[in-house]
Structures are given as C-alpha cells and as structure tokens.
Amino acid sequence: MRHQQIFVNLPVKDIERTRRFYSAMGYEFNPQFSNEQALSMIISDDIYAMLLVESFFQTFTPRAISDAHASTEVLTCLSCESRAQVDELIAKAVAAGGTVPREPQDMGFMYSQAYADPDGHMWELMYMDITQFPGA
C-alpha cells in the first residue's frame, strides 16, 4: 500500500481568528499553502487541516455549508501521548476561546475529551492504553 496523507477541510468565518486560536494550541501552518483564504495547519507529518474561509470552501462543493454550532458535521479524533496531554490541550483550547461540549469519558483503557473551536468544529482528543483493554 502506498503512503497516504489526510487533509481535513473545514470552513471558517474569520481566518485571523482561526490562526490565533490554533497558534495558541501550539499548531504551526505551512506557509506554502496558507494565505488570506486558507490555512494549512500541520497536525503531524501526514495529517493536515485545511482551514478555508467559507466563500473559498464553497467553491469545492455544491452543498450548503453546515453550521457546526447547530449540527455535527464530523468528529475528528486525534490521539495523544497521555491523559495529561489530553487535559493540557483541552485547557489550551478553552484559554484560546474554545468550548467544551461534553464531559470527559473514561473507559479505563481509553480516556477522551472534546473541544469545539470558535467555528464550532468538534475535535476529540484521546489517549488509549491498549494493554488495559479488557481481554488484552
């Protein structure tokens, strides 16, 4: 199987507000693919979020753009290295203006929390210790 990357495309209302929010979370942007209409946020070597101003996002789809504050468009889940990292990133999101849409979930082997960015996009953060999985 060939090497693949993932690019999650999300519409945003205000590109500078989005840049400030995700910069405060510790993310960096690829300047080669970032401008006044788009930010190419680097999540890892193979995962990127393309944060596109709504009018630019609309050029890629004939469908209406969802209001992420009113309905769930997608749940993007990112793994973390520890429970502490999950909690740390949630705290950064809240400090940067994000919200916490639900209580943390602790299943013993897996711990997760979520935040919503200023545009309402929900991001799940989870830590999993497979050695604690029942039956492992």
Kindly state the average pLDDT of the residues 20-27. Answer: 98
Fill in the DSSP letter of residue 87: H
Q: pLDDT for 33-52, tens place per residue? A: 999 999 999 999 999 999 99
pTM of the model: 0.90
- CATH H-level, domain 1-60: superfamily: 2,3-Dihydroxybiphenyl 1,2-Dioxygenase, domain 1 (3.10.180.10)
pLDDT attached to residue 1:
66
**Confidence band (pLDDT; 50, 70, 90) for 53?**
very high
User: Alpha carbon 37 to chain centroid distance?
Assistant: 18
- With beta carbons less than 8 A apart as the criterion, state whether 46 and 6 touch: yes
* CA neighbor of 10 nearest in space, from 58, 43, 80: 58
The Cα 88–Cα 84 span in angstroms is 6
Range 74-136: architecture per CATH:
Roll (3.10)
The residue behind tokens 């510790």 is: 26
> What is the per-residue pLDDT across 75-87, written as a single tens digit (0 to 9) for each?
999 999 999 999 9
**Six token digits for residue 95:** 């400090």
